[in-house]
Structure 1
Amino acid sequence: MRKPSFLMVCCALTLTLVGCNISEQAETEQPTVSEQEPTTTPEESPTESTEENEVNDVPEAEAPAEEAPAEEAPPEKAPPIELVPTEPIERDGQANLALDTLVLVNKQIALPSGYKPEDLVTPNIDFVDSATGERRMLRQEAATAVEALMKDAKAAGIDLRGTSAFRSYDYQVQLFNAYVARDGKEQALKYSAPPGHSEHQTGLAIDISSASVGYQLTQGLEQTKEGKWLADNAHTYGFIVRYQRAYEAETGYMYEPWHLRYIGVEHATNVHEMNVPFEQYLEQLMD
């Protein structure tokens, strides 16, 4: 057998050493690739998550736009009447006319001396003969309401007539002075208002009586079927029996079952159910 030459042995050794170096390099580079994979994965995950969030947010952002037509459509029903007034009850002892049918007039709060409602009309109801001219007039809204009240009362067999409605400042001067001359100021103040302090000047108050008491303004009306009907039903037409027996200390006036004050059906119903003076009702309403 022929022996290998020295040159052949050197070549073989060289090839062997080269192969070993290649293997060692491959084994050394492999961990580098595996270390980069965890670094790459977290960087991509937030990107994918952000895209998903943006996609999910689109319907929420667009939802109001899709519902907008429904909101713009006109409501099927009229909005409810706002019951809470935004105006103060009075200003320096003067009645706040901006409260309209809720205007408060009492012994502490007065109307301007020249005040006269612009919408006074004569309601189509029966009056006693002594009620003439302006004393038969009420503001339009109150006049319409008392017409309905009188019509339904008559249908129920209740005989009622108006005795006094609107009173001007000047008329109240004459009336109050006559009562003072007859009974003295202290007594007169228990049943009559000083000029400017009468609810009749608002055009929202009317005195009502019946044949059962000779159409007189007397507390005896309370015991009649007509007086009881008024007490039980006036609020359904927007009126309250303004001066109740239980309220005398608060109102300063004696009980008047004949004196009706218009404030609107919603408020009158509340006052009737709460059983409080009008003053207290307004204060609670505006708290």
Structure 2
Amino acid sequence: MPFGQVRDINLYYEVVGSGPRLLFINGTGADLRRKQPYVDTLNDHFTVLRYDQRGLGQTEKPDRHYSMADYADDAAALMDLVGWDRAAVLGVSFGGSVAQELARRHPDRITRLALACANPGGPYGYPLLDLHHKDPETRARTMMELDLRKTPEWQAANPEKARELIEQGMKRGGGNTDPNAAMGARRQLEAREEHDAREWIDQIRLPVGLFGGRYDGLGTVEGQEFMAERIKGSELRLFEGAHGFLNEDKAAVPAITEFLTRAS
């Protein structure tokens, strides 16, 4: 799979599948080498342009400040590199923040915009940067509890399952031999922390679909509703699940696919 010079970085990307064009923008800490079932499902419906964002995966990791504008301009420049003038866009989690900035800076590149488990930043954004320097068990336990179903009462009633989820979380991301991986992840979290679209998100004038999990402590229902109220003509749908609702609720990916392929 190819690498390409995109602005100031050497970026890893893939073009897979067949059908209408879809730019897929992944989330916090994402690495295309770590497979997610729903991601490959998109290949059955779209020609998907997907990539490791700056600081992540196999893409270059310059040790300097990253802004959300950098991430949005990277996406637009990658479209230039592969010869795409316009495409539908799906931004997941942090990728939803990037997609908001892309819609602000390069609205003519987007035909339809789907934001999944995203938030508009500001008080609606969870401070993941605070977790970056915590020990692995604290990080894993906190992330488990951001599934709002995993209450203290649930954990007391299901101690073995809770322990299993914590251990899975501790292993996630392990084995990475890239000495710059932790720095790149921190730089992404810094950009995430700065994102606040509340003052301008109502300027987005595109067909926008908002998709979220009912029990998500990161892309909260409150954040989804804030965006739905301010983006004129947007559609909001909630699914059974938390931040991973795309893998939890079988209705989620078909709903997003229907939205993205609908005639504008």
Give the structure-1-normalised TM-score. Answer: 0.26
Give the structure-2-normalised TM-score. Answer: 0.28
Structure showing greater Rg: 1
Higher relative contact order (CA 8 A, sep 6+): 2
Whose strand fraction is larger, Structure 1's or Structure 2's? 2
